[in-house]
């Protein structure tokens, strides 16, 4: 049965965590020199499968064959020795060290007992140029380069460590913009042509179709199937991932049309010339009750800065902000919560979840902060709240007492959403609420936004996925280079928005 073309074969992989069956009876095979995408919803078992392959976790049942030989991957280090390298979503390199140091740390060329800096820099530069086709100054600090380059450096390091035969890229594109992604894909194609097998995990289906040869779909810890990319249509793929067809997305535009009627005339939030030097140029903004305002723009165009100004994370140094007719004087998250504003921040790990606390505590946190120290929600009230939102948002957790760090990314995002819904906000600002989460959960969040609007609440929806912004927003504001460029209301298509994002309307 074993095919000589397969570099990795994983058979009957089964793994259970306390309370969760993470994988059951999953087969996975990887051909030499192919780009193989693994897709699935959050909690489908993608990460667990990778962790088993890289020796972070051990399977309960099942076998792994490398080049037809059965192996036991004992540890991540052992995986590297076997030629399996991983580049994680968050780049884990040392930003203060130079590019060359990052690539060759631990195996610097030595001379007279010291590090041979010249040889090291030359070696690093050649590696980047030859294998990845990028030409940069390797003596610069890593932090001086954009995330995309940092990711390349991480790949270069992975290639340097061992004669890599299998390269695993875990959500490599989630913080890259279009050009950077294209650059990464070039590198991937080059490695592929050199015979490196690449496992590519992503939530962006466009990218799956652009780059992968085969697709493995997982759902709830079981294998749905492995398909040649050319044989499966996008709709079929989505249906396989979530186990039902997505007519809901079509319904959405109807809901949106319907909800437009509920927009009130008076403004809920007014910003006049609001700005902060170095973060965002002064901008005007008016938001009505029951309205969803989309903000489109490239990474670093000032989207997050606007969200943080409105929520009071940063204090503006020009202009005024009015909430429900009253001029805002005190800027802080706490004051904003009091005014009925909520912000789901972009960076879930750093500014969102509090990972040691339970799901329940994470959900009640903002509401409790607003109530203060002494008006403590009783345990019973806390459980009621938590259980209500776990049900409402379909949060997959064994119980409200689970540590939130044990949840998958999408469910963590839902917990943060629940935290803010619990404060019953008038204005909900969502900064990249769907980043790194699966199709089904994305649709749920978009629907939630529209249903909130129908209840008369306002929403600011920030996303780098344009179709999402288009689908949910009544009005769209476009940013470029930290300034508001234009605002679209009514019918508008993706092309128009992209043009103004790129600045080519002239």
- Residues at the contact surface with other proteins, assessed by CB under 8 A: 16, 18, 313, 332-334, 336-337, 343, 345, 350-357, 361, 365-366, 368-377, 419
Strand order in the sheet with 475-480: 341-344, 427-431, 458-462, 292-296, 475-480, 483-489
Q: Report the nearest approach of other proteins to the CB of residue 337 (Å).
A: 4
Percent helix, strand and coil across the chain, each to the nearest 5: 40, 25, 35
Which residues, 6+ apart, have CB-to-CB distance to 74 below 8 Å? Answer: 55
Within its chain, how far is the Cα of 411 from the centroid?
12
Q: Report the nearest approach of other proteins to the CB of residue 496 (Å).
A: 33
Nearer to other proteins, 82 or 343 (CB): 343
Residue 36 Cα distances to 127, 200, 404, angstroms: 24, 6, 30
Strand order in the sheet with 69-71: 20-31, 6-17, 61-66, 69-71
Q: Report the nearest approach of other proteins to the CB of residue 311 (Å).
A: 8
Q: Report the nearest approach of other proteins to the CB of residue 349 (Å).
A: 9
CA 105 to CA 206: how far, in whole Å?
Answer: 35
With residue 400 as reference, give the H or E element that holds it.
none
CA 189 to CA 133: how far, in whole Å?
Answer: 11
Which residues, 6+ apart, have CB-to-CB distance to 141 below 8 Å? Answer: 95, 96, 97, 98, 99
E-assigned strand segments in 297-390: 318-323, 326-327, 341-344
Compute the C-alpha angle 68/71/76, nearest 5°: 125
Kindly give the pairing relationship between strand 427-431 and strand 214-219: unpaired
Kindly give the pairing relationship between strand 35-40 and strand 84-87: unpaired
* Residue 240 structure tokens: 């396989």
CA 252 to CA 471: how far, in whole Å?
Answer: 7
The SS3 assignment for 97 reads coil
Q: Report the nearest approach of other proteins to the CB of residue 64 (Å).
A: 21
Nearer to other proteins, 327 or 334 (CB): 334
Q: Report the nearest approach of other proteins to the CB of residue 345 (Å).
A: 5
Q: Report the nearest approach of other proteins to the CB of residue 396 (Å).
A: 21
Which residues, 6+ apart, have CB-to-CB distance to 303 below 8 Å? Answer: 295, 296, 297, 431, 462, 479
- Residue 219 has φ and ψ, to the nearest 5°, of -145, 125
Q: Report the nearest approach of other proteins to the CB of residue 356 (Å).
A: 4
Q: Report the nearest approach of other proteins to the CB of residue 43 (Å).
A: 20
Nearer to other proteins, 386 or 501 (CB): 386
Nearer to other proteins, 112 or 373 (CB): 373
Nearer to other proteins, 106 or 374 (CB): 374
Work out the end-to-end distance of the chain between its first and last CA atoms, rounded to an integer number of angstroms.
61
Nearer to other proteins, 302 or 345 (CB): 345
Nearer to other proteins, 35 or 364 (CB): 364
Nearer to other proteins, 77 or 178 (CB): 77
- Residue 232 has φ and ψ, to the nearest 5°, of -125, 130
Q: Report the nearest approach of other proteins to the CB of residue 375 (Å).
A: 8
Nearer to other proteins, 36 or 419 (CB): 419
Nearer to other proteins, 55 or 290 (CB): 55
Q: Report the nearest approach of other proteins to the CB of residue 127 (Å).
A: 35
CA 394 to CA 388: how far, in whole Å?
Answer: 10
Contact 410, 437 (CB under 8 A): yes
Q: Report the nearest approach of other proteins to the CB of residue 53 (Å).
A: 21
Nearer to other proteins, 5 or 355 (CB): 355
Residues 40-54 as b/e (b if ≥16 CB within 10 A, e otherwise) read bbbbbbbbbbbbbbb
Nearer to other proteins, 19 or 225 (CB): 19
Secondary structure in 3-state letters for 131-195: HHCCCCCCCCEHHHCCHHHHHHHHHHHHHHHCCCCEEEEECCCCCCCHHHHHHHHHHHHHHHHCC
Q: Report the nearest approach of other proteins to the CB of residue 333 (Å).
A: 5
Nearer to other proteins, 420 or 488 (CB): 420
């Amino acid at each position: 049965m074993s095919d000589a073309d397969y570099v990795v074969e994983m058979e009957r992989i089964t793994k259970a965590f306390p309370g969760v069956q993470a994988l059951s009876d999953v087969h996975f095979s990887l051909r030499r020199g192919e780009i193989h995408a693994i897709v699935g919803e959050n909690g489908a078992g993608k990460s667990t499968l990778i962790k088993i392959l890289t020796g972070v976790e051990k399977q309960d049942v099942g076998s792994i064959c490398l080049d037809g030989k059965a192996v036991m991957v004992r540890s991540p280090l052992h995986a590297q020795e076997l030629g399996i390298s991983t580049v994680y979503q968050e780049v884990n390199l040392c930003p203060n060290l130079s590019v060359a140091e990052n690539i060759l740390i631990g195996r610097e060329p030595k001379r007279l007992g010291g590090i041979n800096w010249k040889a090291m820099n030359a070696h690093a530069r050649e590696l980047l140029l030859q294998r990845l086709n990028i030409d940069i100054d390797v003596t610069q600090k890593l932090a001086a380069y954009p995330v995309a380059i940092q990711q390349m450096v991480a790949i270069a390091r992975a290639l340097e460590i061992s004669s890599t035969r299998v390269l695993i890229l875990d959500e490599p594109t989630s913080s890259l913009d279009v050009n950077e992604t294209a650059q990464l894909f070039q590198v991937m194609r080059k490695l592929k042509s050199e015979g490196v097998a690449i496992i590519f995990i992503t939530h962006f289906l466009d990218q799956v179709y652009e780059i992968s040869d085969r697709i493995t779909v997982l759902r709830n810890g079981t294998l749905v199937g492995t398909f040649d990319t050319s044989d499966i249509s996008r709709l079929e793929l989505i249906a396989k991932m979530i186990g039902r067809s997505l007519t809901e997305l079509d319904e959405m535009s109807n809901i949106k049309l319907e909800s437009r009627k509920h927009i009130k005339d008076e403004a809920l939030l007014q910003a006049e010339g609001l700005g902060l030097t170095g973060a965002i140029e002064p901008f005007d903004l008016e938001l009505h009750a029951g309205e969803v305002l989309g903000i489109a723009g490239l990474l670093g165009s000032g989207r997050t800065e606007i969200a943080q100004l409105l929520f009071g994370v940063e204090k503006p140094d020009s202009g005024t902000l009015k909430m429900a007719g009253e001029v805002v004087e005190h800027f802080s998250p706490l004051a904003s919560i009091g005014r009925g504003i909520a912000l789901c921040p972009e960076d879930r790990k750093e500014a969102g979840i509090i990972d040691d606390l339970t799901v329940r505590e994470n959900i009640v946190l903002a509401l409790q902060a607003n109530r203060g120290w002494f008006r403590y929600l009783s345990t019973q009230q806390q459980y009621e709240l938590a259980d209500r939102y776990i049900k409402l948002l379909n949060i997959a957790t064994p119980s409200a007492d689970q540590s939130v760090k044990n949840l998958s990314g999408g469910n963590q995002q839902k917990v943060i959403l629940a935290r803010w819904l619990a404060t019953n906000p008038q204005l909900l600002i969502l900064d990249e609420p769907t980043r790194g989460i699966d199709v089904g959960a994305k649709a749920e969040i978009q629907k939630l936004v529209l249903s909130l609007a129908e209840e008369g609440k306002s929403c600011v929806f920030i996303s780098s996925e344009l179709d999402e912004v288009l689908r949910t927003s009544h009005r769209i504001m476009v940013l470029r280079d930290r300034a508001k460029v234009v605002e679209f209301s009514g019918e508008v298509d993706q092309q128009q928005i992209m043009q103004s994002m790129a600045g080519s309307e002239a």
